[in-house]
């Protein structure tokens, strides 16, 4: 079996598909990964065949980049969206040649279903958070420039409005590209992408699926990539040189301005040391004091169990890793699924969250809340309930279906 795994997005969208690719290869299957070029070296280092899709995304973490400026206006967002779809339709058919199935890992992978349809092979859509998928239990997620006409409307009306926005945003360019492939137009873009039987690659304890919904959702559990890479000698020495520090990181997304100063001051307010993840924003330390260290990409599975708390943006991957590690969390959500995970962390009693621009004072107050023994106890208990077999479930589903 040869499978094409495809996604558009940052590390949080790519890593679950990398986890599935690794597992499928272990089971003797052939895999191709189609993703932004930022991740080529990483994927190929794991022995995964890689095809770049779209532009590099690292610059989106910088407020002064051309891509970030273009996304600041409705016209710019629309032009970029249309160019993205055209690029997908130009790239993916060749990459999918000879494949037996396509698995799409993000809703903005607009072309994936059409390419699979044209090839006559199965297509599977995967969400990483329950609120991505329509349900009467929750409201649709909100993208920048994607606000509903009436935010106070009932949930069914909000999802209907969401479907209309999908059609307005993507319908014309999708149908134009489908016509070039000899395919008929689509009258429901969102339904076309999600299908009636989507997969949900999220942990059922941290992010349970709750209907009712018109969709037949199969929740596999989170797709976790096992990481056996060692921590650097410098980081090991820092961890061994005192009490567990606080970890601060915002992954691949843009971090708020002056956040490094606020984070370090908040840790120091509690007499704690700090580990600052540079991320795509390239956060830096504010001085040369020995109580702080800045790091690049790191094995979260090895690091998180050794810190006192994890302060992060609330993406699906980092939230799952911190929850699985059994460590208290402070979330600073900005968009899409991050407010959902902030709420779940609070509901589970494993952490708290900050609304709005974080300050040293708000971060210090949040840390005071999560550094209590009872929060650490809850985090450890919930961490022991997180499933780790999600990628095995997904690989089995895929192989049986194909």
**Adjacent-strand bridge partners of 104:** 6, 125
213 closest CA partner among 146, 164, 152, 156? 156
Name the least confident of 5-19, 82-96, 240-254, 341-355: 240-254
Average pLDDT over residues 203-227: 94
Within a 10 A sphere around the Cβ of 259, how many other Cβ atoms? 22
Number of H helices, E strands in the chain: 15, 13
Return the DSSP state at 251: T
Quick check: bond before 335 cis, omega within 30? no
Topology of the domain comprising 2-222+388-401: Rossmann fold (3.40.50)
**H or E segment to which residue 292 belongs:** strand 292-295
For the stretch 114-155, pLDDT in tens is 999 999 999 999 999 999 999 999 999 877 667 788 888 999
Q: Is pLDDT larger for residue 72 or for residue 27?
A: 27
**Adjacent-strand bridge partners of 101:** 3
Domain with CATH 3.40.50.2000 in the chain: 2-222+388-401, 233-383
**pLDDT tops 70 at residue 60:** no
- E strands present in 138-260: 199-200, 218-219, 246-249
Q: Residue 38 to residues 10, 22, 276, 337: CA-CA distances in angstroms?
A: 8, 18, 22, 22
Burial of 372 (0-12, 13-18, 19+ CB in 10 A): exposed
Q: How far apart are CA 64 and CA 393, in angstroms?
A: 42
CB 366 within 8 A of CB 354: yes
**pLDDT tops 60 at residue 67:** no
- Residue 327 phi/psi, 5-degree rounding, is -115, 140
Task: Locate all alpha helices (DSSP H) within 103-154, ordered by sequence.
Answer: 112-119
For the stretch 162-181, pLDDT in tens is 999 999 999 999 999 999 99
For the stretch 386-395, pLDDT in tens is 999 999 999 9
Domain 233-383 indexed as CATH 3.40.50.2000: yes
pLDDT of residue 147: 75
Which residues are within 8 A (CB) of 124 and not within 5 positions of it... i.e. 6 or more apart? 101, 102, 103, 104, 195, 198, 199, 398, 401
Reported as a pLDDT band with limits 50, 70 and 90, residue 55 is: confident
pLDDT of residue 254: 67
For the stretch 234-250, pLDDT in tens is 999 999 999 999 999 98
Q: How many CA atoms lie within 13 A of 253 on its CB side?
A: 22
Is this prediction's pTM over 0.75?
yes
| Bridging pattern class, strands 123-127 and 101-104 | parallel
Q: How far apart are CA 255 and CA 268, in angstroms?
A: 20
């Amino acid at each position: 079996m040869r499978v094409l795994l495809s996604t558009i997005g940052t590390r949080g969208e790519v890593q679950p598909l990398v986890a599935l690719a690794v597992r499928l290869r272990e089971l003797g299957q052939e895999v191709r990964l189609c993703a932004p070029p930022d991740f080529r070296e990483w994927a190929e280092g794991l022995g995964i065949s890689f095809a770049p899709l779209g532009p590099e995304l690292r610059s989106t973490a910088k407020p002064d980049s051309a891509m970030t400026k273009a996304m600041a206006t409705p016209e710019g967002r629309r032009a970029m969206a249309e160019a993205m779809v055209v690029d997908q339709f130009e790239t993916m058919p060749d990459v999918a040649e000879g494949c037996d199935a396509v698995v799409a890992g993000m809703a903005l992978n607009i072309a994936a279903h059409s390419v699979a349809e044209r090839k006559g092979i199965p297509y599977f859509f995967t969400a990483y958070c329950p609120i991505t998928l329509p349900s009467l239990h929750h409201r649709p997620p909100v993208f920048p420039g994607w606000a509903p006409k009436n935010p106070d409307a009932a949930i069914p009306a909000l999802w209907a409005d969401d479907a209309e926005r999908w059609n307005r945003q993507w319908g014309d360019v999708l149908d134009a590209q489908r016509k070039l492939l000899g395919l008929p137009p689509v009258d429901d873009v969102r339904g076309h992408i999600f299908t009636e039987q989507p997969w949900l690659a999220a942990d059922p304890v941290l992010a349970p699926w709750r209907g009712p919904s018109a969709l037949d959702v199969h929740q596999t559990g989170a797709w976790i990539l096992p990481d056996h890479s060692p921590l650097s000698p410098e980081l090991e020495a820092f961890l061994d040189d005192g009490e567990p520090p606080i970890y601060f990181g915002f992954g691949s997304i843009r971090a708020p301005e002056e956040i490094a100063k606020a984070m370090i001051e908040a840790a120091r307010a509690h007499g704690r040391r700090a580990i600052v993840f540079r991320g795509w924003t390239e956060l830096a330390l504010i001085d040369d004091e020995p109580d702080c260290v800045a790091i690049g990409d790191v094995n979260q599975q090895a690091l998180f169990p050794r810190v006192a708390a994890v302060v992060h943006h609330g993406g699906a991957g980092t939230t799952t890793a911190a929850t699985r590690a059994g460590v208290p969390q402070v979330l600073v959500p900005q968009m899409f699924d991050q407010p959902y995970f902030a709420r779940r962390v609070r509901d589970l009693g494993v952490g708290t969250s900050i609304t709005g621009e974080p300050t040293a004072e708000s971060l210090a107050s949040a840390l005071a809340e999560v550094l209590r023994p009872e929060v650490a106890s809850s985090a450890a208990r919930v961490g022991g309930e997180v499933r780790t077999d999600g990628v095995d479930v997904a690989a089995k589903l895929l192989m049986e279906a194909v």
